[in-house]
Amino acid sequence: MLLIYSSPATWQALTPGEQDQMAREHAALVDELVDAGEYVSGNALADPVRSRTVRVRDDAVTTTDGPYIELKEHLAGYDIVYCDSLERAEAIAARLPEARLGAVEIRPVMDLKVMEM
């Protein structure tokens, strides 16, 4: 899973044309990965101010608005790709236009049937 981190201030500093160009670059890479059979799924995520955090402690449920902690960068979206190696995932992550503005974290998805990490 390629976790895309972004800063709202950095994104807002881009011109509408630059934002559109980044969206087109991302879409073109997704199309390429689909054609190669490496793309599984992905989505952009809403602004963290629209999120909720839920915790259960001693059977008591608490819900708070927003993310758990204040961050300058937040999880803005993700892409799930099927790769033969970590090196291939790194190569794909480096091509995401969002990597130029924020960061892309690579996190292998666990097989819950065997709980392999």
For residue 50, is it within any domain?
A: yes
Domain membership of residue 54 as a residue range: 2-106
**115 in any annotated domain:** no
For the chain, how many structural domains are there in total? Answer: 1
For the segment 90-112, what is each residue's pLDDT rounded down to a tens digit?
999 999 999 999 999 999 988 77
Flag whether 28 is in a domain.
yes
pLDDT confidence of residue 52:
86
Q: What is the mean pLDDT of residues 22-46?
A: 96
The three state secondary structure string of the chain is: CEEEEECHHHHHHCCHHHHHHHHHHHHHHHHHHHHCCCEEEEEECCCHHHCEEEEEECCEEEEEECCCCCCCCEEEEEEEECCCCHHHHHHHHHHCHHHHCCEEEECCCCECCCCEC
For residue 104, what pLDDT is reported? 95
Residue 70 pLDDT > 70, yes or no? no
Instruction: Give 25 or 11, the one with higher predicted confidence.
Output: 25
The answer as to whether 117 is a domain residue is: no
Does 114 map to a domain?
no
Looking up residue 42, the CATH number of its domain turns out to be: 3.30.70.1060
Q: What is the pLDDT of residue 46?
A: 87
